[in-house]
Chain A
């Protein structure tokens, strides 16, 4: 059979892209041919220039002892002092460490689980049930962390619902939110619960677009459901998976301020305090915007490096250009 598999289609197109790069059309012909494409980009460009680039100049605050009434031009320049402060205290190093651990696990889990869930849900034939489940799993995403944390503080407490339930099996009460060793898993699992619907829906959208004839062909070839999944479904999803994975890398230092802020307490600072909660306590509340901006810049720098690395890796190994 001459059927082309999705993987091969991707590689074919990408190699075409690779070939084109060696010849660059001169600007006159380029604009004449592709002017609609440039025009299409204008709205986005305008927005980005006004609302993203213009304020970016303010990044200078990171290098200043910024005082609002002096403005950016009037505030004292202190060079890298703000950045030095990030590494000076044991607490801030701990916070960085916690942030990375929590964020990395969240990313990994946040990629794998929705894929699995999407695949599993795809196997449900009953349309009504499928739709129902799909609707329900996205619900937690709509609630704010203030609400969810409030509920969690209630049911995870030592004499809350969950521990009552476990008591039926003779298990001692577990201090989910007060035990440093348990805090991170609690944070990760609750975040997963709240947000896996997002990834799942994206993947389901991709799955919905897969041409059924691919499956038919594979089945005629003798593949069972599992093999079909490996050879048809996953390759189609791969580009999207890589994209989302890379984008998540850009988020690696955002371990979830809203969530942790509403859930943490002094007992779990050692494992749960993240960069953003630390910065919030030590500077934003006092209006030390210079320090806050410096941390933001630091995070952005790391994100940039990671994204570039993963872009290169994806290109090298999967032949796929993410952007």
Chain B
């Protein structure tokens, strides 16, 4: 395969430059955060820090890891993310696979799920429900309520649908059972799709902060995102009775930056490992109609 026409080469050249430039703009804010986390307080407050630390020190990081609340909330986030993603993927993939087939009850079931995407009782009924089920202050309050998402269901269903039926028909002729078809044919082929959605769910769990603050009555139970929320939001609060020590805490932008950065790090690290599922070309094998 050669695409070496002159027009194509010019296009390719500019294409690469353009993409690299865009990619860099996506990287810069993180670099900025990183630089801040290593800079001195005075430099940050004086707006001297852009992409390189000024007044280099690692104090922010030391303080962050010394803070047992930070470390613990990170642990909680890890648990909820893994647990939550597994449960979510299980629930959505099973239903998504079923709905990708055609059968009598399919449409009805589909609408049952779709309606939940649009209508919701709101904050109060959801809170009362979680509270009455006794889930408050447990990890289950973070993992169960959002386990099912109709949006993701539809996406996964469509990923399954893109796999040609001919494969299933061929397997049926060979006498394969229902579950074998699911396990050996559809699952592996839809891996890019599943990995994608799985990643989204993971990110959702990792960044989810409101449920933590809402359902937990102690900071010991906060997931990391909730913890960070309390750290960052303070800087924009209109608390009139702030006293000197509070104001001082607000100036600790380097610690904030460090915390935000570390909070984002795990996802950034996990992501490349999942990438291989999207990038690998999958050869379906030609099927002639």
Q: How far is the CA of A48 from the CA of B289 in the complex (A)?
A: 39
A137 adjacent to B22 (CB under 8 Å): yes
Q: How far is the CA of A304 from the CA of B118 in the complex (A)?
A: 7
Cβ–Cβ < 8 Å partners of A266 in chain B = none
Given A141-B203, A205-B192, A212-B283, are A193 and B26 neighbors across the interface (CB < 8 Å)? yes
Chain A: interface residue total (CB-CB under 8 A): 100
Known pairs A9-B164, A211-B286, A323-B154; A120 contacts B122 (CB<8 A): no
Instruction: Report if A318 contacts B (CB, 8 A).
Output: no
Could you say which residues of chain B place their CB within 8 Å of the CB of A170? none
* Contact indicator B120/A137 (Cβ below 8 Å): no
Q: Is B95 an interface residue (CB 8 A)?
A: yes
A323 touches B104 (CB 8 A): no
Q: Does A45 contact B (CB under 8 A)?
A: yes
Are B119 and A323 touching (Cβ within 8 A)? no
Q: Say yes or no for B247: interface residue by CB 8 A criterion.
A: no
CB-CB under 8 A from A57, the residues of chain B are 121, 125
Are A140 and B124 in touch, CB under 8 angstroms?
no
Tell yes or no: B170 within 8 A of A by CB.
no
Residue A59, interface by CB 8 Å: yes
Cβ of A132 under 8 Å from chain B:
yes
Query: Are B157 and A323 in contact (CB-based, < 8 A)?
Result: yes
Question: Do A44 and B15 have beta carbons less than 8 Å apart?
Answer: no
User: Which A residue's beta carbon lies closest to that of B148?
Assistant: A47
Partner of B158, one of A130, A138, A151, A240: A240
Does B52 interact with chain A (Cβ within 8 Å)?
no
Is B32 positioned at the interface, with any CB of A under 8 Å from its CB? yes
Q: Measured between C-beta atoms, what is the minimum distance from B18 to chain A in Å?
A: 7
Bound form: Cα–Cα A41–B98 in Å? 7
For residues 94 through 142 of chain A, which have their beta carbon under 8 Å from a beta carbon of chain B?
A: 117, 120-121, 123-124, 127, 129-142
Cα of A239 to Cα of B155 in the assembled complex, Å: 11
* Residues 192-207 (chain B) with a chain A CB within 8 angstroms: 192-193, 195-196, 199-200, 203, 206-207
Q: Is the beta-carbon distance between B104 and A132 smaller than 8 angstroms? A: no
Residue of A nearest to B277 (CB): A205
A89 is an interface residue with CB less than 8 A from chain B: no
Q: Is the CB of A133 within 8 A of B12?
A: no
Q: What's the nearest-Cβ distance from chain B to residue A259, in Å? A: 14
Contacting pair B109 A201 (CB below 8 A) = no
* CB pair A135 B272 closer than 8 Å: yes
**Interface status of A293 (Cβ within 8 A of chain B):** yes
Kindly provide the distance from the CB of A249 to the nearest chain B CB, expressed in whole angstroms. Answer: 11
- Select A147's contact among B114, B195, B260, beta carbons within 8 Å: B260
B119 A59 Cβ-Cβ under 8 A: yes
For the complex, what is the distance from the CA of A173 to the CA of B159, rounded to whole Å?
A: 47
Which residues from 10 to 56 on chain B have a C-beta closer than 8 Å to any C-beta of chain A? 11-12, 15-16, 18-20, 22-27, 29-30, 32-33, 47, 50
* A–B Cβ pairs within 8 angstroms, 23 of them: A34-B101, A41-B98, A51-B148, A55-B129, A57-B125, A58-B125, A58-B128, A121-B19, A124-B16, A135-B271, A136-B26, A139-B268, A144-B228, A144-B232, A146-B232, A147-B29, A205-B278, A208-B280, A209-B192, A247-B154, A289-B124, A293-B121, A297-B119
Excluding A240-B158, A297-B119, 10 further A-B contacts by CB distance (< 8 Å) are A2-B288, A25-B104, A48-B148, A117-B19, A123-B11, A124-B19, A131-B279, A144-B232, A205-B278, A300-B118
Interface residues of B (CB under 8 A from A): 1, 3, 5, 8, 11-12, 15-16, 18-20, 22-27, 29-30, 32-33, 47, 50, 90-92, 94-95, 97-99, 101-106, 109-110, 112-114, 116-126, 128-129, 144-148, 151, 153-155, 157-159, 161-162, 164-165, 178-179, 189, 192-193, 195-196, 199-200, 203, 206-207, 209, 225, 228-229, 232-233, 236, 260, 264, 267-268, 271-272, 275, 278-284, 286, 288-289
